[in-house]
Amino acid sequence: IPSHALGKQYIVSSYRETADFVSQSLTPYVSIVGVYDKTQVTFSFGGNPESIIIDADHGDRVIQPGGTMTATLNRGDDWLIATEAAYSDLGGSMVRANKPVAVISGNHCADVPTGVAACDVLIEQEYPMTSWGRKYHVTPIGGRKISSELRLFAKEVGTHFYRDYQNETQDQAYWVN
């Protein structure tokens, strides 16, 4: 995404850890890249109850879902955050900055779907929340027997999700402003 289209608020959509973290680790991560000097960034951890992050910059402090971390980034700085637990997740984490940043999420070796050994490399540059639309259409991929896996995140209270025009509202959204 060109720098003029970057934003100050993002919700991370990385694919979850699909391994037990004992025999192997398929860690999800998020990379926050500074575009301007002296950018103040706050990372609010979403995830699931099994998730933890080890904050090595602050004495190996353990961050659990709901916790926050902060950093100051200069142009070209990359703040890489990864989970450190079995079946952990960064999905639903919130990135807020006082200046535009780039946010890239991914997984270096994911099993998609879970339980099917594949070691898929997943990486995606996130869209800032200001560019989110109101309607998205997902079509099946030709030749697939199973439909695509989708992750849905809401940025506003009262958001409704529909599948084939049927209301699929979740009782709990990942993040709400």
Half-sphere CA count of 122, side-chain side, radius 13 A: 23
Q: Are 37 and 74 in contact (CB under 8 A)?
A: yes
Consecutive 10-residue runs of the chain (177 residues): their mean pLDDT? 94 83 79 98 93 86 93 97 88 96 90 76 92 82 77 81 67 39
pLDDT tens digit sequence for 104-153: 999 888 777 777 777 888 899 999 999 998 777 778 778 877 777 778 88
Q: Are 128 and 7 in contact (CB under 8 A)?
A: yes
Amino acid identity for residue 154 in this structure: A
Half-sphere CA count of 171, side-chain side, radius 13 A: 0
Supply the mean pLDDT for the chain.
85
